[in-house]
Chains A and B, each alone.
Chain A
Amino acid sequence: MSDVLKELEGILNVTLPGNLVEEVIKVEEGHFNVMSNVTNAFELMKILREDAGIYHLSTISGVEKDDEFNVCYHIQHRIEDEFREVPINLIITKIDKNKPKSPSMLEFFVAADYYEREIYDFYGIYFENHPFLQRLILPERWPDDVKPMLKEYGWEQIKEITMKITKEGLEEAKQ
């Protein structure tokens, strides 16, 4: 692991403290997965954003595991002289499933707003310090407690809810 961490540090030209990083995996040449847990992720992102100068956030994905949530920040380290990018997936692990909470990265990336709100919609993960964590994608009539991307909701259930809210909307339009 330490070899891969050293390689990544060499590319980024910063030191990543060992206590913040859980694991670094090299997916392929110039493509890394960095694992960090929910308490250290904000500090780690601060180093990546401010010291390493990473400014491009491609997207954020939420992942539901058996006993925890993961949130994955897909960021790109850009080397402008060579027109090259190094994709880094910063995976935040150990998000409690009963009370899902994760630090908001809006301070570092403007683009994080939409992506974090999308995950809040779909998984119900609460992003701390996000100033406006409101519904982005789901329809207005969608029930608040149903988070559609969770495994507990099957395809049929989602279909039922969709039909129900569509009917309600049509009936209201008739009146």
Chain B
Amino acid sequence: MTEQYRSRFRALTDGSDAPPGADHHIFIGPQHPWCEEPAHFIIHLKGERVVEADIRIGFNLRGIEKAMENKTWRQNTMLIPRACGICSAVHQNVYVRLVDKLAGVEDQISERARLIRMFSLEAERIHSHILWYGILAHDAGFDTMLHITWRDREIIMDIVEDFSGNRVNPALMLPGGVKRDIPKEKADRAQPMLDKLIKQVEYHKKVFTEEASIRNRLEDVGILTKEDAKKVTPNGPTGRGSGLPFDVRKATPYELYDKIDWNLVYYNEGDILATTLVRLDETLESLQICKQVLDQLESTQGELLARVKQKIPEGSYFARGEAPRGEDVHYGIADGTDKPERYKIRAPSLGNIDATLKRMDGEYVADMPVILRSYDPCFSCTNRVMIINEVTGEKMILNQDEFARKAIKAKKYNRPFF
């Protein structure tokens, strides 16, 4: 199996250990915080086609796992959302479910607390997906769509802020339940806003499927077939776009996902359009779930917080949750004290890097922004590119603007890039 993935094992990432046939090497990255996927991509090209791609990660290790071993379980509840900027609620949810299980209080958590947790999770999925396809449109050169989607995203951000006090880090959950209630007047205020957002997302879907200028950038680009997907094991929307119908919410239901009416979304095409449609359809599904949850909250009463002791009994548990980007995995070991013995976090994007590298094989360099974006990396490093001319050894470091200008000039006046 390893021969197929030779790119992984190139010792020198400066291009000197390049694959045979490659004549240019593009370096993208590396500087950006971990939650926003710190990655250094090296793309080896032959002409305009990608021969091989490689990645280096680990430029901003924050040591959250080590820090967690030095803090109590209670303190960690507020440290864990910081593992990721956008999927903060899902990290907290997986953590509190793990602690609930280890402490043995999972039966005592009321339905109302579970519904509030679910609302927070789904609201996060909505704003994360809208953010993602907005930036995808921007990468494909369709900035109008970026502004339209981000304008509409404010609706759900306002709801989250109203319910939790924060825009992106709601931090509503605690081991044993939730911190805050969603009162009836706030739920009533949110319902018409959700209706409005459903209409807007339906319009977004119409644009992505019917507008030729964006559809042509995404259709049949970066195809990942089901057979390849089984080898490189992507998770979340990346896998569901390639015909792997697995969602943790359906696969091993948690909270009340088995009691709420929702559909699993998956497509078999495997191109970037398929992953986009997965996310668009999921946004609509999540909006439906949010509306159902608010309806059910009216008739469901219960204690918000069950008592959890400071000391967690000995044991280990492996908990998973469906983050907007895929499968979020935590593994915790308790030793009977108030601090964890070991806590392991695997954020979803790390599992999707293989699939993204596989997608790049044989594609045009012009499609790279779209393919790199496909696994939702919060990729803050695309604004710095270094280009090396292999013949003269000349180096240029450009930001995104300069790169675009140079490319346009080269094309317009039919001049070489260097």
Contacts and interface: CB of A to CB of B under 8 A. Distances in A.
Interface string A127-152: 00001101111110000000011000
B243 to A, nearest CB: 10
Interface string B322-334: 0000010101010
B333 A59 contact: no
Contacts of B8: 113, 132
Contacts of A76: 246, 251
B230 interface: yes
Given A55-B230, A110-B231, A155-B67, A136 B318 contact: no
B329 A74 contact: yes
A106 B333 CA distance: 26
Interface in B15-69: 57-59, 61, 63, 65-67
Given A74-B331, A110-B1, A148-B66, A136 B252 contact: no
A136 B57 contact: yes
Given A106-B1, A111-B354, A58 B61 contact: no
B247 interface: yes
B231 A55 contact: yes
A158 B64 CA distance: 12
A42 interface: no
B144 interface: no
Contacts of A154: 70
Interface in A35-85: 55-59, 61, 63-64, 72, 74, 76, 78, 80, 83-85
Contacts of B2: 106-107, 131
B313 interface: no
Contacts of A33: 316
Nearest to B58: A137
A83 B70 contact: no
A74 B318 contact: yes
B78 interface: no
A57 B1 contact: no
Given A114-B353, A155-B70, A83 B246 contact: yes
A50 to B, nearest CB: 12
Contacts, number: 107
Contacts of B320: 58, 87
B70 A58 contact: no
Nearest to B358: A110
Contacts of B250: 83-84
A85 to B, nearest CB: 4
A87 B94 CA distance: 15
Given A31-B252, A131-B2, A138-B58, A58 B351 contact: yes
B288 interface: no
A30 interface: yes
Contact of A85 (B246, B344, B353): B246
Contacts of A87: 252, 318, 320
Question: Would you call the interface of chain B mostly helix, strand, loop, or mixed?
Answer: mixed
Chain B CB within 10 A, most for which of A56, A78, A138, A155:
A56
A129 B244 CA distance: 30
Contacts of A63: 333, 342
B252 A149 contact: no
Contacts of A155: 66-67, 70
A89 B318 CA distance: 8
A30 B232 CA distance: 24
B331 A61 contact: yes
A27 interface: yes
Given A31-B318, A87-B252, A137 B66 contact: no
Contact of B232 (A59, A72, A111, A158): A111
B260 interface: no
Nearest to A108: B1
B354 to A, nearest CB: 6
B104 to A, nearest CB: 12
Contacts of B354: 110-111
Chain A CB within 10 A, most for which of B11, B342, B350:
B342
Contacts of A58: 235, 320, 327, 329, 346, 351
A137 B57 contact: yes
B288 to A, nearest CB: 18
B264 interface: yes
B118 to A, nearest CB: 19
A132 B2 CA distance: 10
Nearest to A130: B2
Contact of A107 (B1, B66, B67, B342): B1
Given A89-B331, A111-B232, 19 more contacts: A27-B318, A55-B231, A56-B233, A57-B233, A58-B329, A61-B342, A61-B344, A63-B342, A74-B329, A74-B331, A76-B246, A80-B245, A84-B252, A87-B252, A89-B318, A111-B233, A131-B2, A149-B65, A155-B66
9 contacts: A30-B252, A56-B233, A57-B233, A58-B346, A59-B331, A72-B331, A83-B264, A84-B250, A131-B2
Interface of B: 1-2, 5, 8-9, 11, 57-59, 61, 63, 65-67, 70, 230-233, 235, 244-248, 250-252, 264, 316-318, 320, 327, 329, 331, 333, 342, 344, 346, 350-351, 353-354
